[in-house]
Structure 1
Amino acid sequence: MSFPKGFLDELKGRIRVSEVVGRKVKLTRRGREFVGLSPFSNEKSPSFTVNDDKQFYHCFSSGEHGDVIKFLEKTENLSFIEAVERLAAEAGMEMPERDAHAAQRDKEAATLIDVMEMAAQFFRQKLQEGVGAEARVYLERRGMRGKTIDDFGIGYAPGDDRGDRTSLLKYLKSKNVTLDQMAEAGLVIAGPDIAEPYDRFRNRVMFPIADARGRVIAFGGRALSADAKAKYLNSPETPLFHKGRVLYNLARARKPAHDEGTVIAVEGYMDVVGLAQGGIYNAVAPLGTALTEDQIQLLWRMAPEPILCFDGDKAGLRAAYRAVERVLPLLKPGHSLRFALLPEGKDPDDLVREEGGDAMREVLAKARPLSEMLWEKETSTGQWDTPERRAKLEADLEAAVAAIGDPKVRAHYAEALRERVSKFFGGGRQAASQGGYGRGRFQQRGFRTDRFGGGRSFKGRGGFPRGDSYMPPVTPELRRSALASGATGEQGREGLLLLTLLNHPELLENYAEDISRIALRTPALDRLRNEIIDIAALHAPLEREALKGHLLSRDLAEIARRLEAGSAFRSDPFAWPDASPEEAEAGFLHTLARHRRAIMLEAELKAAERALAEEMTEENYARFRAIQEQLERSDVADGLG
């Protein structure tokens, strides 16, 4: 149903979100927000927030986010129209006349999400039929119980190269799904060089892959035939599915990960399912590739120190070492990885099936920190009994430390590794003379050994000793200079992010949660962002022109017009309408990462300034200057960040 311009805005303006939510959730005011236990999950500590100013609620444990209308839909099983009618009655507003044509269009509109759900139902049905007998035997042999199969929506794709190759195609066609939609969803193989389109998945046990909201967006298929070309086959990249940005079981694992305080990343679907049968529900898996940067960020949203689980053989160690290399540039205060190595020849599914969930929990309890894995990676492959070999180890460790992007984390790693090397080579100054760190190469390369304890103190009545580098006072001018270095870039990035959303609102489908958490310092852009999220929650899927129409009805069109009329973003083609969805997504994510980095640096600079004001030491000044120089050097200082 379509409503007259301004109707929903007026309705929500008359109803406070906290009043409606407060009927179901005991809320406590915390600053400008209210907090309480999530109504969407059974949690022990509050992760549910309500903001009346921004007119939305957000649940960090389940990912649920929306306005007062959506809250009623979710908690009372109401349709959108029913929720609006109830709120209108409370607010004393008359419901407008229904637009029958618009309602019919909404009913007939089919999306790829609808198509994927139809396919998932088809696969589940086939597993229970006679054609799925072999698949059921396979699952029973792997110890899969009926409840587990139902919980994970596991199914079966019939057919093979010698028999019927179009079972799913025929089924979807009977549901009025077009061949173009099937191909776009990655369910059939079709094209100008394909004489007869056919099902992509045949004679495979099927694992539905869901997005963060629990909607099926892809499939993974495990071959039952021994001569299949690929044992595991994933959906191709589609408008819904980008395998490097998705984790299998993400939606289901979010709440258990919040409750347990950690999340476990294993190698494949069967490992996730096997752990669930052992009572371990906070597990996810990448989709046939090594962990990507995006997947690491997804893990960090679930827990600050995820556990990566690898086989204990040589291949497993190599995979663990690759993960070490991948994560070092991404490290930030409070966020890291831990590593659990399984007994050789075992994977999580095997261990749980043969020895039970407690055996797996013992392995997880012994998970090793990233710093230990880095040390093992660099020291386990050689003999370090000569000065030249020790110098090689130093160089490798220095290179690893230099890869860490965050200055605080980098400094602490430098100190920790210096101490390890000192002990490894015999300790103290003797180690330095023999080629160990001591006060040697870490100090020469800027990793000063007297900056993190154990060195000289620079406090005292006499200030800094003669001969040490001069440290000027932190004047108001110095402070303003440092904090101003990112201001223009910050506003430029904020505008660039919003302009990209205006021209490519399809990004909201996958990144609504990320967008809602962006720190925006420009009030007009903050308001525009909140309204866009609000509109998307009510009118998904959202198209560019429709979004502009909704903004016009909410008196926000002028802000959008100024963004589009400005010349500052002409050098960023991904933000404009003629960019492809892939270009827009890549540019948006890159800009978002830069913006987050800039906000983090500004916070670090303020913290360093406070520390320096409290304690005038060389260490504190060096940290302050290092952060300030990053702001001045990096793209934070230029016009668009």
Structure 2
Amino acid sequence: MSLPPNFLDELRARTPLAPLIARKVRLARSGRDQKGCCPFHNEKSPSFYVYDDHYHCFGCGAHGDAISFVMQNDGAGFMEAVERLAAEAGMQVPKPTPQAAEAERREADLSEVLAAAAAEYRRLLRLPQGASALAYLRGRGLSDATIEQFGLGWSGEGRGVITEALGRQGITPGRMIEAGLLKATERGPVDYFFARVMFPIRDRRGRIISFGGRVLGDGQPKYLNGPETDLFSKRQTLYGIDLARSAVRSGATLIVVEGYMDVIALHQAGFSGAVAPLGTALTEQHLAELWRISPRPLLCFDGDAAGRRAALRSTELAIRALAPDRGLAVLALPDRDDPDSLIRREGAQAFKARIETVPHLAQTLFDMLADGADRATPEGRAAFRKRLEAVARSIEDKSLAGEYRAAMIDRLYAERRQGFQKAGPGKSSRQKSPHVSLPRPAIDTETTVGRRARLLTAILLCYPSMLPDLEEAFGLLTLPDDCARLRDSMSEWFHGAEALDSADLLNHLTSSGLRDVADRVISLFPQHTPETDPAAMAELEASWYGIYGLMNLGWLREQCAEQSRRWQEEPEPEVWNRLVSLTRALKRAERGEADSDAVF
């Protein structure tokens, strides 16, 4: 059975590769990617690398995507692997119907029509009639290599140009209408684009799915995107996504700007992770696509009032879905600047410096919400505080929501303290506080995840009797370097220990030169659970899994389902107790309880 390419693309996009492979392979962070020992051949040194959309073993040459991994690792056929992954992703595998085959044929046909149109537009740009369009592009600072890279072209001056050109290739007006090149009118089909510089729009695979056009002169609309078709949806498409995906894998920053020219200018200046929505505000579909590529995309909209409003709207849309491994950043530009004009005025190095020093989203969000807010009166400050708290509460991950709330409220209090200090003698009866501010560490994914990882490690250092049940789960986590070194030494001790005693484990860590590291990690966890109390230990195990679930919710759900199946087969007390423990942990993780609540 032949499956539609768009279905397979969506399935791969909805299947994060690293968590899938981590079920079978112990992975460790290696720069932006992850690595481990290859599951397809015996090796002692890891040469198996996992990227955002594929894996590769530099030892045996194994290579593929999520579907390939299930096939190679589990011995599954193609359709079996697709059905398994689709079930996990909540997708229905298209049935082999005549309608599905026809839809696939139509998409392939539309792609051929659009590719032919792109070639014609490029040809016209280099003819005398395209001289004004070529001069416009060069006047915007684009090199011939950049113009070629992005496939820019010229539609021709009047209507009928593309109809005549493609007609000579046997492409009918009906097919051109379906592709979005013509539109039907009472006078018959007419060109959708004319007298415009043409920008091919590609999907993530690099396939042309539509065009955008910029009028020369004062015509309106200045920019025009093709109509919705079977291939093209503005709410789901980002301009430049095909080039940005590979660039981000190589270390580029994923930058979201407002338009075609900003994307192209950034790429030419060396910022090849730039993308843009197409004449619409960022949507949830856009954000999902961005997070598939990078855990922290950077919004860089124009510096005018409209750009600031767009940045705030996009941030408020994104904030609900923020998580320790899914963030956002916003780079505010000077008034009346866009990325293109800023780079031309200041240069690429200055723009790079701005990216590298972009503040955390909690700080940026405070500034956005403060813009225009009344903070001079008690009523205004109370209203502003309520707005800060409401925005923080909208974050579904409650642990992260608490961190954002604390960061923004701390800054609000700091401003009030500074206000009192500036009032001076006789202007305020309040005494100057000896503490100028309440410093707080930056809120970012590494801080949040690192704290949880160290807490999980601390519990196992204090209660190594839990290792038989928790070692596998613990081994699947990507840990900070100190915890990773402790885990390796703990595993070595565990497999040779006669008794699972904390004092013996600490002696082993002392001899390994890791005692100071262990003591720092243990200090995070105040021990007060006696190992002789089974109920207390069961509660501690549930707490451990609760924190673990905040870092790997999918795995915890799988364990609950597996233990439930096991209970049906083995209705034994220990199976039931473990099921209760896992279920309690899952509920805690899904509610996103604060770490302190989850443990204590």
How does the TM-score come out when normalised to structure 1? 0.54
The structure 1 residue matched to 2:175, chosen from 173, 181, 184, is 181
Residue in structure 1 matched with residue 397 of structure 2 by the alignment? 406
3-state SS in 2 of match to 1:245: coil
Determine if the alignment matches structure 1 residue 336 to structure 2 residue 327.
yes
Q: Whole-Å Cα distance in 1 between the matches of residues 598 and 303 of structure 2?
A: 39
Q: Among all aligned residue pairs of Structure 1 and Structure 2, give the percentage whose two residues are the same amino acid.
A: 34
Match of 1:265 among 249, 256, 261: 256
Distance 2:594 2:275 in 1: 41
User: Aligned partners of 1:253, 1:259: CA distance in 2, in Å?
Assistant: 10
Contact conserved, 1:33 with 1:49, CA < 8 A, in 2?
no
CA distance in 1, matches of 2:560, 2:165: 51
Match of 1:394 in 2: 385
Cα shift readout 1:340-365 (whole Å, capped 9, x = no counterpart): 12222222222233443223223322
Give the alignment of 1:75-474 within 5 angstroms. Answer: 111-160=109-158, 165-190=159-184, 193-226=185-218, 228-426=219-417
Bigger Cα displacement from structure 2, 235-244 vs 168-177: 168-177
2:37, 2:47 within 8 Å by CA — same for their partners in 1?
Answer: no
What letter is aligned with 2:113? V
- SS where residue 246 of structure 2 aligns? helix
**Partners in 1 of 2:128 and 2:585 — Cα distance?**
66
TM-superposed CA distance for 1:327, in Å, is 0.9
What are the superposed Cα offsets for residues 177-215 of structure 1, whole Å, 9 maximum, x if unpaired? Answer: 23222111111011xx52221110101110101000001
Alpha-carbon distance between aligned partners in 1 of 2:221 and 2:559, rounded to the nearest angstrom? 46
What per-residue deviation string (whole Å, max 9, x for no partner) do you get for residues 401-433 of structure 1? 1211122211221222232233233399x99xx
Matched AA of 1:115: V
Please say if residues 38 and 47 of structure 2, whose CA atoms lie closer than 8 Å, have aligned partners that are also in contact.
no
Deviations 1:547-594 (A, max 9, x none): xxxxxxxxxxxxxxxxxxxxxxxxxxxxxxxxxxxxxxxxxxxxxxxx
Asked if the contact 2:203/2:242 (under 8 Å) is kept, the reply is yes
Letter paired with 1:418: I
- Counterpart Cα distance in 2 of 1:187 and 1:521: 52
Change (3 A) 1:183 1:371: same
Q: Residue 157 of structure 2 contacts residue 194 of structure 2 at CA under 8 Å; is this kept in 1?
A: yes
Distance 1:409 1:139, change over 3 A: same
Tell me whether 1:32 sits opposite 2:39 in the alignment: yes
CA distance, structure 1, for counterparts of residue 117 and residue 416 of structure 2: 61
**What is the CA–CA distance in structure 2 between the aligned matches of 1:189 and 1:519, rounded to whole Å?**
50
Q: 1:65 to 1:156 in 2, by over 3 A?
A: farther
Whole-Å separation in 2 of the counterparts to 1:137 and 1:394? 52
Residue 383 of structure 1: how far off its partner (Å): 3.5
Q: Distance in 1 between matches of 2:145 and 2:132?
A: 19
Matched letter for residue 365 of structure 1: E
CA gap of 1:115–1:46, structure 2 versus 1, over 3 A, is closer
- Among candidates 583, 594, 597, match of residue 622 of structure 1: 597
Change in Cα spacing, 1:123 to 1:620, as seen in structure 2 (3 Å) is closer
1:24-79 CA deviation, whole Å, 9 max, x = no partner? xxx986363688699xxxx9x8974159xxx994369xx999999xxxxxxxxxxx
Letter in 1 for 2:233: H
Mapped contact 2:35–2:48 kept (Cα < 8 A): no
CA shift for structure 1 position 242:
0.8
Which whole-Å CA distance do the structure 2 matches of 1:210 and 1:137 have between them?
Answer: 24
Q: What is the CA-CA distance between 1:141 and the residue it aligns to?
A: 1.2
Q: Distance in 2 between matches of 1:66 and 1:204?
A: 47
Instruction: Show the counterpart of 1:58.
Output: 64
Deviations 1:229-254 (A, max 9, x none): 21000011111111111111111111
Q: 1:64 to 1:213 in 2, by over 3 A?
A: farther
CA distance in 2, matches of 1:114, 1:520: 47
Rounded to whole Å, the distance in 2 between the matches of 1:268 and 1:153 is 16
Confirm or deny: 8 A CA contact 2:385 2:409 kept in the other structure: no
Aligned partners of 2:240, 2:383: CA distance in 1, in Å?
A: 42
State how far apart, in whole Å, the 2-side matches of 1:603 and 1:138 are: 63
Contact 2:36–2:48 (CA under 8 A) maintained in structure 1: no
CA offset digits 1:295-352 (Å, max 9, x no partner):
1122212221111112333332222211221111111112211111222222222223
Distance 1:198 1:336 in 2: 45
Residues 222, 231 of structure 1: 8 Å contact kept = yes
Query: What residue ranges of structure 2 are gaps of 5+ in the alignment?
Result: 3-33, 73-103, 421-429, 432-437, 439-451, 453-523, 563-581
Amino acid at match of 1:395: K
Residue-by-residue CA offset, 1:381-405 (whole Å, 9 max, x unaligned): 2333443222212211121112111
The two structures have a TM-score, normalised by structure 2, of 0.57
> Deviation digits for residues 570-619 of structure 1, max 9, x if unmatched?
xxxxxxxxxxxxxxxxxxxxxxxxxxxxxxxx99945968xx9xxxxx96
Query: 5 Å matches for 1:486-505?
Result: none
**Does the 8 Å contact 2:542/2:584 carry over to 1?**
no
AA paired with 1:178?
T
**What CA distance in whole angstroms lies between the structure 2 residues aligned with 1:169 and 1:305?**
44
The aligned amino acid for 2:168 is S
| Kept in 1: contact 2:398–2:594 (CA 8 A) | no
2:505 maps to which residue? none
**Inter-CA distance 621–360: structure 2 relative to 1 (3 Å threshold):** closer
Q: Secondary structure at the match of 1:150?
A: helix
| Preserved CA contact (<8 Å) 1:159 1:166 | no
Q: Could you say what secondary structure the match of 2:154 adopts?
A: strand
Change (3 A) 1:67 1:346: farther
Cα distance in 1, alignment partners of residues 324 and 52 from structure 2: 23
Aligned residue number for residue 449 of structure 2: none
Whole-angstrom CA distance in 2 between matches of 1:28 and 1:266: 32
Q: Distance in 2 between matches of 1:624 and 1:462?
A: 11
Letter in 2 for 1:177: I
Structure 1 SS opposite 2:364: helix
The answer (yes or no) to whether the contact 1:57–1:66 under 8 Å persists in 2 is no
| Cα contact 1:210–1:217 (8 A) shared by 2 | yes
Once residues 458 and 256 of structure 1 are traced to their aligned partners in structure 2, the CA distance between those partners, rounded to angstroms, is: 41
SS of the aligned residue for 2:200 comes to strand
2:51 is the counterpart of 1:49: no
Q: Which amino acid aligns with 1:242?
A: S
Separation (CA, whole Å) in 2 of partners of 1:114 and 1:152: 18
